[in-house]
Chain A
Amino acid sequence: MSGHSTYEPKTGIERWLDARLPIVRLGYDSFVDYPTPRNLNYWWTFGGILSLCLAAQLITGIILVMHYNPGADHAFASVEHIMRDVNYGWLIRYMHANGASMFFIAVYVHMLRGLYYGSYKAPREVLWILGCVIYLLMMATAFMGYVLPWGQMSFHGAVVITNLFGALPVVGPAITTWLWGGFAVDSPTLNRFFSLHYLLPFMIAGVVILHIWALHVVGQNNPTGVEPKSKADVLPFTPYATVKDGFAMSVFLILFAWFVFFMPNALGHADNYIPANPLVTPSHIVPEWYFLPFYAILRAVPDKLMGVLAMFGAIACLFALPWLDTSKVRSMRYRPTAKVHFFIFVVACCILGLCGAKLPADPVIPGLTTFNAGDADLNSFVWLSRLAALYYFAFFLVILPVLGLTEKTLPVPDSIASPALSHPATVPAEATAAPEMKG
């Protein structure tokens, strides 16, 4: 999609088609001849892994719909029918349920990679924002998908999350009634969530196409953050990136398969094997692991409305990131201070995830009672989550804007080829490029 096309139709049929719908040319230019920076590391393979995840979710999901029944009286039993009576239904359903977790593992690695290497900076702002839109759609899809088995955690999770919108002033109650299709979470809610759960993945696929389009206009970022300057900096997508992505996908599938076949319920919650019962509330309602950091931010704020705003604000920060980071240097490889803050940020996110899974009042260190300030018990998960949430927001709103102006960065290489060729990993000595080859 960028640069001139080098595709040459070889057969009569290809020439005929190319003059009418140059789709083979599009594929060739995008996935064969497309120049990729030669120094991409394994963190760059997660884009391909994510498209694999999306395809797996779509295929397994479409098959599940052939057997699933979205009525409140039948949903739970129909999922068990899939597990017990449908040929390989257990495999399809476990792939779909664990596939969601795998999708989020991959998307978090993909996002952190973008954050570390500055992949959101000019000219890739739109590319980054499209990625954020995909992430938002993924969260909506995953949430509604978790409601569909109509277990206890499905039902009460749906109650908690839909009630969040009730915190909005004036319009809140009307919005929740509209979301529910009634005055409580019930069959109409399940039906519309099912409908939307089927719709949103295709919207994700649509935005993924835009995401890849934008990627192919601006080109891939790379670990140095320096734009490719000459032919020595790039390699054709096929076979170089294809084989590397293929290897990474296969390794990722081993992890995926391990969960599906040997610990399929490890990432779920036992309560969801109890049919939904509006009259019995589980003692401890927790969302799926991939929502836990945001759930912790929500609960860190004592006021419900402010908590909801903080939670959405945490996602809004991602959208604004291209303009929050003021640094001229793209890759954190050459930003020693920013790098430290990046790793603290990752730890803060993990801590938030941990806090989201715990009861807010439980002590972080059991048996320790000395950390009291006034009537606040600082040795509790709610205070730990406040601390981590503070860092989360400070990272985006203070550290990145200020650091970009004050940080002393390391020298950035002139081109991709120069540092890449200076430590040849697997090349015999005589094969290293001559100096005149360097960018």
Chain B
Amino acid sequence: MLRKLSVIAAVAGLLTAGVAGPALASGHPLPAKEVKWSFDGPFGKFDQAQLQRGYKVYREVCSACHAMSLVSFRNLGDKGGPFYDEKYSAKHGKTSNDNPYVKAIAKDYEVADIDSETGDPIKRPATPADRFVSPFPNEAAARASNGGALPPDMSLLAKAREEGPRHIYSIVTGYKDAPAGLKIGPGQHYNPYMPGDLTSYWSGDHKHVPPGGFIAMAPPLKAGQVTFDDGTPSTLDQQAKDVSAFLMWAAEPKMDERKQTGFAVILYLLLFSGLLYVSYRKVWKNESH
């Protein structure tokens, strides 16, 4: 019975694989580029140096338009984060709020508050407990400054796209000159990795509509734009990889902890299952079934 079912499952799997292969018809973007991440696979972890570089790209480039409202400054110093330092962890009776890097970063920003004496609205330097400061006060302001387009909040961006950080990397590095015959509106850019349907903008062969779609964001990164403090060559590819990794961390800051816990849990369950199987064999030893 089990064997029969597994055969059927295998056949169904083959059928599915056969029919579900990539269909590059018009209206579909190109599949995201392959990238090797340090956090791939069950044992993969964030690379702290990469997260620091990625944070710098985010801070100097992306944060001019993109908010990251779910992340607090203190998160930068949490375990697995870009500026984690064991000296400022629970092990030493401290928290990431005490981390001097985090404090210094926070202090560079101003947040709105009220004067507790007078109730007047004031600005004060941010503390590690504050959230990242958004570049625009509201959606209308963000659209007004970006030709009507809304730069998405980046807190969860890497999880909110089907192909995750690879999608972000592909968009940032994937800008191409529009093929002749594609009508591009003002403030728009062609990107073959952007979802969309270009059929109505395409005057060429209707069977070969270019893949991808339009994106309002101009190519945001170029070689040498950000200077990496660790001496890593600042190529476009490097910047794109680092900021994508940083965004993955921002979207899933507990990933290292999750995988480490998972390793222990799976090991425990394997041993426990083994013990239970031995018990089962022992209990049923003299009973046919």
Contact = CB atoms under 8 A, between A and B. Distances in A.
A38 interface: yes
Contact of A251 (B11, B160, B273): B273
A261 B261 contact: yes
A202 B116 CA distance: 47
A243 B272 CA distance: 12
Interface stretch (B16-24, B46-54, B106-114, B184-192): B16-24
Given A261-B259, A262-B42, A254 B266 contact: yes
Nearest to A349: B12
Contact of A426 (B159, B164, B269, B281): B281
Contacts of A254: 266, 269-270, 273
A275 to B, nearest CB: 8
Contacts, number: 125
Interface stretch (A19-27, A298-306, A358-366): A358-366
A270 B289 contact: no
Interface string A18-52: 00000000000000000000111111000000000
Interface in B1-18: 1-2, 4, 8, 11-12, 16
A265 B265 CA distance: 18
Interface in B239-258: 251, 253-254, 257-258
B91 interface: no
A22 B211 CA distance: 71
Interface string B265-289: 1100110110011011101111111
Given A258-B266, A261-B266, A271-B160, A77 B289 contact: no
A425 B12 contact: no
Interface residues of B, number: 51
B42 to A, nearest CB: 5
Contacts of B159: 265, 270, 273
A283 interface: yes
11 contacts: A42-B2, A80-B156, A253-B269, A257-B266, A265-B159, A273-B160, A350-B16, A364-B19, A365-B19, A427-B287, A427-B288
Interface of B: 1-2, 4, 8, 11-12, 16, 19-21, 23, 25, 42, 70, 75, 152, 155-156, 159-162, 164, 195, 251, 253-254, 257-259, 261-263, 265-266, 269-270, 272-273, 276-277, 279-281, 283-289
Interface of A: 38-43, 77, 80, 83-84, 90-91, 94, 235, 239-240, 243-244, 246-247, 250-251, 253-254, 257-258, 260-262, 264-265, 270-271, 273-274, 283, 343, 346-347, 350, 354, 358, 362-366, 420-421, 424-427, 431-433
